[in-house]
Structure 1
Amino acid sequence: MIYFDNSATTQIEPSVLDTYMRTSQRIFGNPSSLHLVGGQAYRLLEQSRKQVASLLNVSVNEIFFTSGGTEGDNWVIKGTAIEKAPFGKEIILSAIEHPAVSESAKQLERLGFVVKFLPVDNRGFVKVEALKNLITSQTILVSVMAINNEIGTIQPIQAISEVLEAFPKIHFHVDAVQAIGKIPITSWLTPRVDFAVFSAHKFHGPKGVGIVYSKEGKKLAPLLNGGGQERGLRNGTENVPGIVATAKALRMLQEDQAKKNAHQRNIKQFLLDSLRKFEKVTVFSEACEQKYAPHILCFSLKGVRGEVLVHAFEKKEVFISTTSACSSKKGLTPGTLQAMAVSPSIATGAVRLSLCEKNTMVEAEQFMIIFQQLYQKFSKIN
């Protein structure tokens, strides 16, 4: 089996799974309980929070645990809207955001908020200059992802931060789900970023655990009300075993990070060079280290829909995706390619390969052998 769909989810690290299981069995108390068993869970929860904060180089009071990236994005978008509605009802998103962000904004639109979209160029990079023209006195939030989940473009968070320095009251949210462990934290968690969102299952942690960085002094309304957990901002009993495992996965992620990323870039470069030799292939990702993530490669095969190619590879036990996994079953034109003004006939054929440090060059070579076979097959059909 060759698994090239790590942007959808990663395989949990065995030692992380072991930590999860041991914690589930031994530290099973509710961290909100007053008794000894609850106290053990609470201390472990806060120890994990401290470790995550240290790994991200932020204050321990700025870390909140959620159920994943989708909840985190929803919380920041809607929590900002609820908290800051008296001061304005305008929200600015990049045109290539993950549905967790864009669909949250659309829901707010139905409630009377104004949603503006920050355009991208034909390579998928946000046009920073356009932001200045979109901001008004009613703007309460700007949301731009750190790394695009479909084609892997690294967005200019530093340049956007510089623009927003003149507007300190506007919340700045970064979806960092694809960025953590792939590019330096300082390149997207700038001093101007107010909120950043992460998901554990994207970096060999358990599913059902997310992290929200919320800068001290910035207010968010809670979406979940209840027993006062997470300082009353994210209510609901914390998933202590999952959080402990997530802290371990994050620590392991950052070990030899440069070496891991270089390994992925080498594989990506080989795949890029190989795919470009085929006349009917259009490649949307590049190898440039400063502009593109090391792990995401998006391409299209002319005349073949993306889902057809995905299933053709599946029969060979090679697993890839049609761009965003969250939207793949809907059969929609990839939102990022649409925003880049890519022809629908080409965009509907787009597929995404996404790597992790566990993938090998041998797998990449085997992928290309299978691709050549499929290319010849589809060429005869077309």
Structure 2
Amino acid sequence: MTRLPLIAAAALLAWGPLPAQDLALRAGTLLDGNGKVAKNTVLLVSKGKIRARGKDLPLPPGVEVLDARDLWVTPALVDCGSSLGLPRPNMNEEDREVEPALRAADALDLTDPGFKRALASGVGTICVLPGSRDVISGLAAIVRFTGKKGAPRVVSPAAALVAAMGRDPVAGNTRNPASHYFRRPTTRMGTVWLFRKAFYDARAAGPNAKDPGIRILRRALSGKLPLRILARPEFDIRTALDLAAEFHLRIAALDEAQEAWRVAPLLAKAKVPAAAAPPSRVSRTDMVEQEWNFLSRIFRAGIPAAIQTGRAPAGRALIEEARIALRLGLDRAAAFRAVTSIPARILGMEKEIGTLEKGKDADLVLWKGDPFGPAGRVVCVFCKGRLVFGKPPSRKEGSK
């Protein structure tokens, strides 16, 4: 009778957090996540945090020293929009168009080999999004590689409320009552109506509402829960901003905002960044002007934008998408910020990850060669100061 609790306890221990590791890292070339490059820099890591950074730092006695003077050192990459681990890439609740209580975390398969591939490509944090076929499709989850032996763990099961404008909630719906898809919305106007109705109903329900979906919507109304809204063309972006202003909602980012550069003053005023579509998969639908250099246009307009791998099966690695953006006109500093510091800010984790600054988590990637070069490859990855992938460089003086 006691075997099941013991097995459950063992499973919890197996997926528990990793212990921290103290080390000093001598970096040949360091990209800090803010667009700056430093040469011959030392990073001191203690209890999973970056404690100091600079040249010729005094080393604590007995600390393990890793010689990475022939390597590039960067923050671990941050993928702020993915479908990794879900049963299918664009997972949706098919019976209702408004399902705020659906959690991507509840459907995640953390043994999905895609997580290992992401880690091997230098990604340390992933935000898994529910699908875009519903007007309000549920809650995004944040995954980090802090489990035993670098296993992925859900660190935030309710990171943001996910919604969509445009054609995605409309696609496949019909006015034919004989069809399973006989439901609203069938137009963009219907999508907006359902979005507004959901928040008006939540507001009218009052603070003692028992429905979990209503409680989640009220959290969004109070500003405690940010929104991620898919809005590709200019008019959908304007609609999303208008809805946010009407209900005093906090938008963490506009997903796949391909025409964000057209409304840069509005986005700047609202302080809303873009979580761009993967550069390798520019939208040719949803009434969007096809611009392969849309990312560089967004940055030139002064809007911060993140690159994500998106809701597609077997997509490219995040660093490959950044390399493509570079070839399509985005400058190096912006391309690297788009996969580190900007997505960290979108996830509300800018105080923990995204840059190599004192006090932040020691999420590090060591690269052989330029990460943006065709031959650049990941040597090893550290998460909170613990090696979670690869083989570290040789140990030098002062090692234990």
| TM-score, scaled to structure 1 | 0.30
Q: Which has the higher strand share?
A: 2
Q: Which has the higher helix share?
A: 1
TM-score (norm 2): 0.29
